[in-house]
Chains A and B, each alone.
Chain A
Amino acid sequence: MGERIIELRDIKKSYGQVYALGGVNLSVDRGEVVGLIGDNGAGKSTLIKILSGVVKPTSGEILVRDNPVAGWSAARSRDAGIETVFQDRALAVQQTIVRNIFMGRELTGFMGWLKVNKEIAEASRLMREIGFTSKVFTPHSIVGQLSGGERQGVAIARAIYKQAELIILDEPTTALSLTETAKVFHFVRQVRASGRSILFIGHNIHHVFDIADRFVVLDRGKVALTADRSEVKSAEDLINFMEDVAHPGGLPGLHEGAEQRA
């Protein structure tokens, strides 16, 4: 595998007495798609928030390209080339598409005045590149007027603007139509082809299985399994494994039900 982009070592996070993460090791290399799966409450969201710098870990080490970093923050994470598309998409819905794409990273010239025309041109280019264009909206459209898929497009456009090394997609296909899901998948493959990495978090294990090179299963704040694509035969294997972890004794009839659900 190529260069190591980010590595988490023995990351713990507690909220008061409750441990959300109890010592997680996770790394992402250049050009790979890592699928992160786990049940509700497994600690996926906490892990993402730590990677994106929104939440600070209670203990543990974060290494960017094998160098330990101090003072990890959201701004530091973005500087390190990590972009996150949050599950709630983190959009300001009363603002324009342009303002959302350049949120926290405004294109400014002299004394902090905005380069308005440049922002509009860049926003148009980004939205075109990922194929989320339409005759109905413009870079000046208010995000609140857009559909769920179009909003996801804005969030992704924001993430790819600065040649990010690693893009974290938190449940990107939730509540999307089939064509919109296909667009997201296509986008993931393009990013991998361009030599960058993706951490793909999904509820739908079939989606994750289709797209990821490596799987990390999180269970109750710990990594329960790390497996390469070649080691896992099918999505059902992953589902069975997750259920075995969740209910070590096994529950009668659970596997069949899970397969139907998925």
Chain B
Amino acid sequence: MSKAMEPDLQTPLGRTSGPAAKEWSHPSNHWLRGFVLDNRASLGTLAVFIVMMAVFIIANPTVFTTWYLYSSVLTTLPVALFVVVPLVFVVTCDEIDLSFPATMGFASWVFALVVQAGYDPFLGIAAALVTGTLLGFLVGSLVVYGGLSSLIATLGMNFLLRGLIQIINEGKSTALTNLADSAAYKIFSSQIWGIPVQIFWAIAFVVFSALLYNRHRFGAQVRVVGDNPDSAKQMGIDVKLVKVKVFVFTGIGAAIAGTFSVMINFTWWPTAGDGYLLPVLASVFVGGTPTWGGIGTVVGGAIGAVTVSFIQTGVVAAGLSGFYVQFFNGLIIILSLLGHKWNQARYR
């Protein structure tokens, strides 16, 4: 900052004495205490996850020490992560997006069409990303400039887009047999040292998004808009544009997620993405992002997604019947919400 920019003001009441005037002191002087306070939502989510895994491992130690279990979770988890993370932004903005399953289906359909027509899968990925961006923009504009409730409007868009897919495809799936030999498959969907490569891409996406959320103008404006849209407007922020951008981000995330899920299965189904609606939403809130907007945690949302992914696998692997899965899903959601309620204060 140059000298000329500094207002030549004196301290009111004409003094700068006293230790308080010299520098602000941090109330939590110990770095660990500060770290825990700043990240208490995501740390709480991590605690829930660790306790849950401990219960599973004690229930059935032999199954939970085999790598296969983790490998299967690590294959499907990335698909969820690519939509959970953008949804943290949407919920922070005090909106919701229920149209991402249809966007996943639509974008991956475009990917499948391009690959089936014999083009390189990289071109298919690019086409899917463009589709996701456009659909995100469409949904966002409808909500923001149409002045509609995002809860209802995105639900409507989810049905509408899924309906379009069903009408055109008449329920038929598309097999992509030539995908396995492509370079794109090796980069995005193979294994390195037995670890599914998708998880590395997903971790990179989570880290990038966490930085975007905490250390970028976009994230800063998303939080302010969700916190107090009137103030944001008074301070010259284009509130509507920020909200549209958040929906576009979700569209892009959904396109990546849809493409990854097609690559895992070598097949595109007209229902692609449908099963993700409720687990993904649950992950965002289990992760510690509150419903009222303004604050949230990307890393917490990612840990929430890991937790939700392990419930289904874990319940079955622990020796319980599949009928217990929904019960445990509900139990984890409710316990997490109670924990976050106790953990977070809402300032007004």
Contact = CB atoms under 8 A, between A and B. Distances in A.
A254 interface: no
B209 to A, nearest CB: 13
Interface string B35-66: 00010000000000000000000000000000
Nearest to A84: B234
14 contacts: A52-B234, A74-B234, A78-B235, A93-B228, A95-B294, A99-B223, A106-B217, A112-B216, A113-B211, A129-B7, A137-B24, A137-B27, A138-B27, A144-B347
A172 interface: no
Contacts of B236: 53, 73-75, 77-78, 104-105
Nearest to B237: A104
B233 to A, nearest CB: 6
B170 interface: no
B294 A131 contact: no
B231 interface: yes
A93 B232 contact: no
A74 B228 CA distance: 16
Interface in A117-156: 118, 122, 124-125, 127-131, 133-145
Interface stretch (B10-18, B173-181, B263-271): B10-18
Nearest to A112: B217
B234 A130 contact: no
Interface residues of A, number: 60
B234 A54 contact: yes
Given A92-B224, A92-B231, A108 B12 contact: no
A28 interface: no
A230 B346 CA distance: 50
Interface stretch (A5-13, A60-68, A183-191, A240-248): A183-191
A227 interface: no
Contacts of B19: 135
Nearest to A118: B1
A116 interface: yes
Interface string A160-179: 10110000000000000000
Nearest to B238: A75
Contacts of A90: 228, 230-231, 234-235
A77 B346 CA distance: 32
Interface string B235-272: 11110000000000000000000000000000000000
Contacts of B1: 118, 122
Contacts of A187: 12
Contacts of B345: 144
A113 B215 contact: yes
Contacts of B238: 75
A131 B13 contact: yes
A75 B233 CA distance: 9
A234 B5 CA distance: 38
Given A128-B16, A144-B348, A94 B234 contact: no
A86 B228 CA distance: 13
A145 B347 contact: yes
Interface in A183-208: 183, 186-187, 190-191, 194
B307 to A, nearest CB: 25
A247 B295 CA distance: 50
A170 B232 CA distance: 17
Interface range on chain B: under 10, 10 to 19, 20 to 34, or 35 or more? 35 or more
Top 7 closest A-B pairs, CB basis? A144-B347, A104-B235, A75-B236, A92-B227, A90-B231, A186-B12, A74-B236
Contacts of B218: 112
A93 B13 contact: no
A163 B348 contact: no
Given A94-B346, A106-B217, A130-B9, 12 more contacts: A74-B233, A74-B235, A90-B231, A94-B294, A94-B295, A104-B232, A105-B236, A125-B6, A133-B24, A136-B27, A141-B27, A194-B8
A138 B37 CA distance: 14
A128 B18 CA distance: 12
A129 B23 CA distance: 12
Contacts of B12: 130-131, 183, 186-187, 190
A103 interface: yes
Contacts of B215: 113-114, 116
B347 A93 contact: yes
A141 B345 CA distance: 13
A91 interface: yes
Contacts of B217: 106, 108, 112-114
B58 to A, nearest CB: 39
Contacts of A91: 228, 231
B23 A105 contact: no
Contact of A163 (B7, B24, B38, B294): B7
B235 A105 contact: yes
A129 B218 CA distance: 29
A145 B20 CA distance: 18
B347 A94 contact: yes
B294 A129 contact: no
Contacts of B230: 90
Given A86-B234, A130-B12, A135 B228 contact: no
Q: Which of B211, B216, B231, B295 has the most CB of A within 10 A?
A: B231
Given A92-B232, A104-B236, A135-B20, A186 B13 contact: yes
